[in-house]
């Protein structure tokens, strides 16, 4: 089940933690796609009326993960993505659906009879944040961690729902689940978890300011002693240009000669002029306000005047989809666009572009720049959140020391960054040094997993 980076993390972190000696069971809703893939399923708990219908808790595994699946058909047996119907509208009972998930987490965490009681409960985002409220006041409970993947998504719901939630008597208070008169699911987690993490050190500082705090900066400053920034990694077996069967020609940092074949293949795919000398820029992204791609539109004239080409792979806001399609139609041979979600094309794009553009307004961590580093596509990124933490700007000092891996620009300065990129591109030897540095950047889960392991141990 994937709508963005959280899925990458939930899929990869347990495997990396196993190497640290930590056993993980992942609690996930029984969506149809999950139940279809679940192997060796065994019921460990039944409830005839769990949040309005019968529910089972199944243990089993899939994709190398040990899973506990909340099989509650009245809540999760639905088409569409996890949060919205096929027409794009949020399910009207999302508050109940994810209260049920959170409540089950609290049952698992405290009831020995299920045979799953953990030493640590690690909740991700608002969908699991209310677990901390269900555990509020429990006599015996595990250590708790809440990870914030995106503070913009908060799960604030009408207080009229309270009777249906069955929270402990005192949980609807300012120091717990109450948020400006509403029930705040993320708020409950932020207020009550023993430790809070977010997905980069820079985002961890930014969210303590009014500009990025989205209403929670005061609470986060209050909790700053237990707030940690731990970067995400990527799965370096899936994202490995030396073994990637989805791309036209495999390569690695010592054998870059294979890379231009991917560039020509990508130019053909998007109907661009096949020209190894044109600077080929790319975008792989949700098309949303957060990602700042509206600011790329007024920069297109500059990009074209510099002789560059552009490919866009993305989907999201209809207005942006329309404008990028129109830009491609107005500049055939120079701008190519695919509106949709396509994993194989994402790999082919990373392997073929010279640089990736990420002008995000905020970016908790960002994964596409990590994939780009691995594939030798230099990230050109806004200096914010995880982008600031993972890309080394090729400024004069970094060029002298040969440590640069991409370009950073401050908010609103995309056009000067394009000029800098074009000027670096004109010196192909320097460019290939940057490419090699990028490809040697450590982007795996090994470092982050060790940091999570140390945090868990401090809470046990
Ligand atoms: P977010 O979670 O905010 O969308 P991230 O950079 O953390 O952003 O993660 C996005 C993930 O989704 C990456 O794995 C990226 O490659 C992938 N992705 C985004 N848009 C597309 C698309 N149109 N086609 C294929 N993969 C995409």
pLDDT digits (tens, 9 = 90+) for 309-333: 999 999 999 999 999 999 999 999 9
State the Cα–Cα distance between residues 314 and 317, nearest whole angstrom.
10
Query: What average pLDDT does the segment 184-208 reach?
Result: 98
Q: Which residues, 6 or more positions from 172, have their beta carbon under 8 angstroms from its beta carbon?
A: 159, 162, 178, 183
Residue to mutate (ligand 1; options 284, 292, 360; most atoms within 8 A of CB): 284
Per the CB < 8 A criterion, the answer to whether 378 and 372 are in contact is yes
> Residue 143 has what pLDDT?
98
Query: What average pLDDT does the segment 43-54 reach?
Result: 98
Domains 5-233+447-459 and 256-439 in one fold:
yes
DSSP classification of residue 82: S
Mean pLDDT estimate for the chain: 96
pLDDT in tens, 386-425: 999 999 999 999 999 999 999 999 988 999 999 999 999 9
Cα–Cα–Cα angle for 375, 379, 383, nearest 5°?
150
Residue 152: which region, alpha, beta or left (left: phi > 0; alpha: psi -120 to 50)? alpha
Which ligand 1 atom is nearest residue 315's CA?
23
Ligand 1 centre distance from Cα of residue 4 (Å): 5
Helix axes 5-18, 446-459, angle to 10 degrees: 70
The yes-or-no verdict on residue 88 having pLDDT over 90 is no
> Residue 149 has what pLDDT?
96
Question: Does 289 contact ligand 1 (Cβ within 6 A)?
Answer: no
Q: Whose CA is nearest to atom 12 of ligand 1?
A: 4
The domain at 5-233+447-459 falls in which architecture? 3-Layer(aba) Sandwich (3.40)
Question: Does 26 contact ligand 1 (Cβ within 6 A)?
Answer: no
Question: Does 346 contact ligand 1 (Cβ within 6 A)?
Answer: yes
Confidence (pTM): 0.94
Residue to mutate (ligand 1; options 9, 151, 283, 285; most atoms within 8 A of CB): 285
Residue to mutate (ligand 1; options 2, 3, 4; most atoms within 8 A of CB): 4
Question: Does 387 contact ligand 1 (Cβ within 6 A)?
Answer: no
Q: Which residues of 4-39 are buried (b: 16+ CB within 10 A; e: fewer)?
A: ebbebbbbbbbbbbeeeebebebbbbbbeebbeebe
Ligand 1 centre distance from Cα of residue 343 (Å): 9
Task: For 183, list phi and psi in degrees, rounded to 5.
Answer: -90, 120
State the Cα–Cα distance between residues 403 and 380, nearest whole angstrom.
15
State the Cα–Cα distance between residues 371 and 350, nearest whole angstrom.
7
Which ligand 1 atom is nearest residue 363's CA?
3
At the fourth CATH level, the homologous superfamily of domain 256-439 is: Glycogen Phosphorylase B; (3.40.50.2000)
State the Cα–Cα distance between residues 391 and 59, nearest whole angstrom.
40
Q: Which residues, 6 or more positions from 255, have their beta carbon under 8 angstroms from its beta carbon?
A: none
Query: What average pLDDT does the segment 73-96 reach?
Result: 93
Question: Does 313 contact ligand 1 (Cβ within 6 A)?
Answer: yes
Helix axes 428-439, 414-425, angle to 10 degrees: 110
Neighbours of 66 (CB within 10 A): 15
Ligand 1 centre distance from Cα of residue 283 (Å): 10
Ligand 1 centre distance from Cα of residue 118 (Å): 31
Residue 215: which region, alpha, beta or left (left: phi > 0; alpha: psi -120 to 50)? left
Neighbours of 225 (CB within 10 A): 7
Q: What is the largest CA-CA distance in the chain?
A: 69
Give the start-to-end residue ranges of the domains of the chain: 5-233+447-459, 256-439
């Amino acid at each position: 089940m994937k709508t963005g980076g959280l899925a990458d993390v939930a899929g990869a972190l347990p495997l990396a933690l196993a190497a640290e000696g930590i056993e993980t069971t992942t609690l996930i809703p029984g969506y149809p796609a999950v139940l279809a893939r679940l192997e060796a399923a065994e019921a460990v708990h039944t409830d005839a009326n769990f949040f309005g219908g019968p529910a089972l808790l199944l243990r089993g595994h899939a994709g190398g993960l040990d899973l506990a699946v909340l099989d509650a058909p009245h809540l999760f047996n639905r088409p569409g993505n996890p949060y919205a119907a096929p027409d794009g509208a949020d399910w009207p009972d999302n508050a109940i659906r994810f209260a049920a998930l959170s409540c089950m987490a609290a049952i698992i965490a405290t009831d020995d009879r299920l045979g799953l009681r953990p030493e640590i409960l690690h909740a991700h985002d608002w969908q699991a944040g209310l677990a901390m409220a269900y555990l509020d006041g429990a006599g015996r409970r595990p250590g708790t961690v809440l990870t914030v993947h995106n503070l913009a998504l908060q799960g604030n719901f009408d207080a009229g729902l309270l009777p249906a939630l069955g929270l402990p008597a005192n949980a609807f208070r300012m120091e717990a689940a109450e948020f400006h008169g509403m029930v705040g699911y993320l708020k409950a987690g932020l207020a009550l978890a023993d430790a809070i993490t977010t997905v980069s050190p820079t985002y961890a500082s930014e969210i303590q300011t009014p500009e990025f705090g989205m209403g929670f900066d005061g609470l986060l400053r209050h909790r700053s002693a237990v707030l940690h920034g731990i970067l995400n990694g990527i799965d370096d077996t899936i994202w490995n240009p030396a073994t990637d069967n989805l791309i036209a020609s495999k390569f690695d940092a010592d054998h870059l000669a294979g890379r231009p074949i991917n560039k020509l293949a990508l130019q053909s795919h998007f109907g661009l002029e096949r020209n190894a000398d044109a600077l080929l820029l790319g975008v792989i992204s949700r098309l949303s306000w957060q990602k700042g791609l509206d600011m790329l539109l007024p920069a297109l004239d500059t990009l074209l005047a510099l002789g560059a080409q552009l490919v866009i792979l993305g989907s999201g806001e209809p207005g942006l989809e329309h404008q990028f399609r129109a830009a491609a139609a107005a500049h055939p041979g120079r701008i190519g666009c695919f509106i949709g979600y396509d994993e194989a094309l994402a790999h082919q794009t990373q392997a073929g572009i010279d640089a990736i553009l990420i002008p995000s307004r905020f970016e908790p961590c960002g994964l596409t720049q990590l994939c780009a580093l691995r594939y030798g596509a230099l990230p050109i990124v806004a200096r914010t959140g995880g982008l600031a933490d993972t890309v080394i700007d090729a400024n004069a000092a970094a060029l002298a020391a040969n440590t640069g891996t991409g370009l950073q620009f401050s908010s609103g300065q995309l056009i000067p960054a394009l000029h800098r990129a074009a000027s670096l591109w004109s010196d192909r030897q320097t460019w290939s040094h940057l490419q090699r540095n990028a490809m040697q950047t450590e982007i795996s889960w090994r470092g982050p997993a060790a940091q999570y392991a140390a945090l868990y141990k401090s809470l046990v």
